[in-house]
């Protein structure tokens, strides 16, 4: 995939722009980057605070040719790419299902993958927010967040991060699209996550809360939980929190 970058000083949301351009027919590989977002979006309709230059705000258009059941794995493949990028900058992150990147249990990056129908077929947009600095975050977010600057003690090299991230994204997307891609993607994700199995968690879903121990990833990327009542629940959407023993 050839990546072509379009830069904005400010925009509402790079994901919204990428979705609109995908609907207008843009090719796979279009990458929208902004220095500031006035309406950055997180998962579950939350706001993604996007002060100027405090984070990397990037969205990539894909036109996946994988079976529909495996589409949720795009978000796992992107998580692996962000994990690899952070490790290039000497940051050892953890992947919390479905796609929070944590360092010492504090969030350093998040991913919002969205799909849309277009005249050229289904398109997916992978939106990635990475905290570059978190000095000016509102206090309630700052205490649960970290940033590349804080973890490395240096001002981050934004251009190098973008280059590393885009090449990791292209590589992990190619892996997902190739033979045996879904299995390889799940394995790569699980290798980098302490949440894939054996973690005691509480999951808040649209229709309730369950607690139990994580028990692996389903073929389509869903999370299996062995509940305290002894059943296995398969989670397709929800917020996972670690419960301290």
Binding site for ligand BTN (CB under 6 A): 13-15, 37, 40-43, 46, 48, 57-59, 100, 110-112, 127-129
Comparing CB distances to ligand BTN, the nearer of 40 and 72 is: 40
Instruction: For the CB of residue 100, give the shortest distance to ligand BTN in the complex, in Å.
Output: 6
Shortest approach of ligand BTN to residue 78 CB, angstroms? 10
User: Least distance in Å: CB of 41 to ligand BTN?
Assistant: 4
Length of the chain, in residues: 245
Output 181 or 223, the one with its CB closest to ligand BTN.
223
Beta carbon nearer to ligand BTN, 36 or 226: 36
Would you say 101 or 190 has its CB closer to ligand BTN?
Answer: 101
Position of minimal CB gap to ligand BTN: 110
Dihedral (Cα; 160, 10, 169, 240), 10-degree rounding: 110
CB of 8 to ligand BTN, least distance (A): 11
Which residue lies nearer to ligand BTN by CB, 49 or 66? 49
Closer residue to ligand BTN, CB minimum distance, 41 or 106: 41
CB of 5 to ligand BTN, least distance (A): 14
Residue 54 CB, nearest approach to ligand BTN (Å): 11
């Amino acid at each position: 995939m050839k990546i072509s970058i379009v830069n904005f000083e400010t925009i509402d949301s790079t994901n919204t722009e990428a979705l609109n351009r995908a609907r207008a027919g843009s090719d796979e590989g279009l990458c929208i980057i902004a220095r500031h977002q006035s309406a950055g979006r997180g998962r579950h309709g939350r706001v993604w605070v996007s002060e100027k230059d405090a984070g990397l705000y990037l969205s990539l258009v894909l036109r996946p040719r994988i079976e529909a059941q495996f589409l949720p794995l795009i978000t796992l493949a992107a998580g692996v790419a962000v994990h690899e990028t952070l490790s290039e900058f000497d940051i050892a992150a953890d992947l919390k299902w479905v796609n929070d990147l944590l360092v010492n249990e504090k969030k350093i990056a998040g991913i919002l993958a969205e799909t849309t129908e277009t005249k050229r077929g289904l398109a997916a947009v992978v939106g990635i927010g990475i905290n570059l600095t978190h000095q000016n975050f509102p206090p309630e977010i700052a205490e649960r967040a970290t940033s590349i600057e804080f973890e490395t003690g240096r001002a981050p090299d934004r251009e190098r991060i973008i280059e590393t991230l885009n090449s990791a994204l292209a590589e992990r997307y190619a892996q997902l699209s190739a033979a045996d891609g879904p299995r390889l993607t799940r394995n790569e994700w699980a290798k980098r996550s302490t949440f894939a199995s054996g973690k005691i968690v509480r999951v808040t879903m649209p229709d309730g809360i369950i607690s139990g121990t994580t028990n692996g990833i389903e073929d389509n990327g869903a999370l299996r939980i062995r509940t305290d009542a002894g059943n296995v629940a398969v989670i397709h959407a929800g917020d996972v929190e670690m419960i301290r023993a």
